[in-house]
Structure 1
Amino acid sequence: MDLTPVLISLKTASASIAATFFLGLLLAEFVASTRRRELKMILDGILTLPLVLPPTVAGFFLLWIFGVRGPVGKFFVDLFGVKIAFSWAATVLASAAISFPMMYRSARGALEQVDPNLLYAARTLGMGEWTIFWKVSLPTALPGIASGAVLAFARGLGEFGATAMIAGNIAGKTRTLPLAIYSAVAAGDMNTAGVYVAIIVLLSFAVVALMNYFTIHERRK
């Protein structure tokens, strides 16, 4: 049996969470600290939008932007000779785009639950806002943030629709586990599909167990 889809999925999910973790964390802090209510609602709506859009619609927008005729895709082709669409980088892009809202919302929720008295106390000691974020807010909210990162990793691991749109289903290159399951079923190879399903179920169960660990740790804290 070909284990390449397993390796591609794990590599893709790992690369996407590396990007979404820091980006989601910084944007969550920015939105949470924004005082203008209207601006906060607009930013939150934009950053959460991929969570409610059908994955194929999100994939369409990614393809429109990063395709060879899209503004970003054409730029990379003309300047570097690199085609983003239908490459492994496209699987990472799709995974990151779909999993980002989960990381962002989990991080924002955890940061907003930090005791305001701790922040006020830090300000009275003369700490700057970024120092407060790194030394007070982040350590206090870390269990919730870690739980969101695990959830975002699992979502990236199971991404299908957007990946199929922008990365395709190229064996050995962009065929992730969900695409491998679809391909095996379409070919009538139910045994191979069953093995792939078992693998992704085990991985998902491990992710849920890890997420529950962080949740319990947060409640105890």
Structure 2
Amino acid sequence: MQMSPIIISIKTASAAIALTFLLGLFAARWIVKMKSEKIKMILDGILTLPLVLPPTVMGFLLLIVFGVNRPIGKLLLKFLGVKIVFSWTATVIAAVVISFPLMYRSARSAFEQIDQNLIMAARTLGMSERTIFWKVIMPLALPGVAGGGILAFARGLGEFGATAMIAGNIENKTRTLPLAIYAEVAAGNMKSASYYVIIVLLISFVVVVLTNYFSLKERKYFK
């Protein structure tokens, strides 16, 4: 069993959750504050789409966006010398896109459960919107937000389809744990595949326990 898939997966999931966490918070707060319910429904559908589409479809769409023969891919390669496809960066992008809806929906749900009277009271005390967000909203929403972050991290760690499409299965470069399991099984190395599966099972179990813990805290917060 090689260690590189484990290291690549942890690096990818860690980088992805840093981006997903911030993007999910921003998107959730933006949607919650939106006045028009029709626009909110449309944007919510777009932001949630990666959750319901097959990962291979999202991988195909990412190839359309970042392929070297596509406008964005060409610009990145020409002006920055960056080639996204079949690189480690591609594994991060795939993980972010696939895990983002979990973070977004968890954060949105947590924000929507906050008592609006508390926010109004903070405004009457002269607190700025930024201060209200960090001093009132985030502490109350923290269990739900943290639970969403854990789920998003696990989803990024276990991403397969979109990663295979845009990043490939390159040993010591883009081969994550799910891709390593697939490669080992395809090669008939069931023992090595079993080791990787055990690692994924252990991580998944820890994720479930932590998610249940934060769900329990969230229920206590809003009783």
**TM-score normalised by structure 1 residue count:** 0.98
Query: How far 1:215 moved relative to its partner?
Result: 1.3
Q: How does 1:117-196 map to 2 (within 5 A)?
A: 117-196=117-196
Counterpart Cα distance in 1 of 2:41 and 2:217: 30
Counterpart Cα distance in 2 of 1:114 and 1:71: 43
Counterpart Cα distance in 2 of 1:181 and 1:90: 19
**For residue 96 of structure 2, what is the aligned residue in structure 1?**
96
Query: How far 1:219 moved relative to its partner?
Result: 2.1
**Helix, strand or coil for the counterpart of 1:138?**
helix
Query: How far 1:220 moved relative to its partner?
Result: 2.5
Segment of structure 1 superposing worse, 190-199 or 118-127:
118-127
**For residue 23 of structure 1, what is the aligned residue in structure 2?**
23
The residue type equivalent to 2:64 in the other structure is W
**Helix, strand or coil for the counterpart of 1:212?**
helix
Query: How far 1:128 moved relative to its partner?
Result: 2.6
The residue type equivalent to 1:64 in the other structure is I
**For residue 50 of structure 2, what is the aligned residue in structure 1?**
50
Unpaired runs of 5+ residues, structure 1, are none
Within the alignment, does 1:63 sit opposite 2:63 as a pair? yes
Query: How far 1:207 moved relative to its partner?
Result: 1.2
**Helix, strand or coil for the counterpart of 2:151?**
helix
Unpaired runs of 5+ residues, structure 2, are none
**For residue 217 of structure 1, what is the aligned residue in structure 2?**
217
Q: CA RMSD in A?
A: 0.9
Percent identity between the aligned chains?
65
Counterpart Cα distance in 1 of 2:208 and 2:10: 16
Q: How many residues align?
A: 221
Query: How far 1:81 moved relative to its partner?
Result: 1.3
The residue type equivalent to 2:100 in the other structure is F
Query: How far 1:14 moved relative to its partner?
Result: 0.5
Residues 97-156 of structure 1: CA distance to partner in whole angstroms, max 9, x if unpaired? 000000000000000000111011112112232222121111110110000000000000
**Helix, strand or coil for the counterpart of 1:68?**
coil
Segment of structure 1 superposing worse, 180-189 or 67-76:
67-76
Q: How does 1:106-125 map to 2 (within 5 A)?
A: 106-125=106-125
**TM-score normalised by structure 2 residue count:** 0.97
Within the alignment, does 1:80 sit opposite 2:102 as a pair? no
Q: Which runs of 4+ in 1 moved over 6 A?
A: none
Residues 168-199 of structure 1: CA distance to partner in whole angstroms, max 9, x if unpaired? 00000000000000000100111111111001
The residue type equivalent to 1:186 in the other structure is A
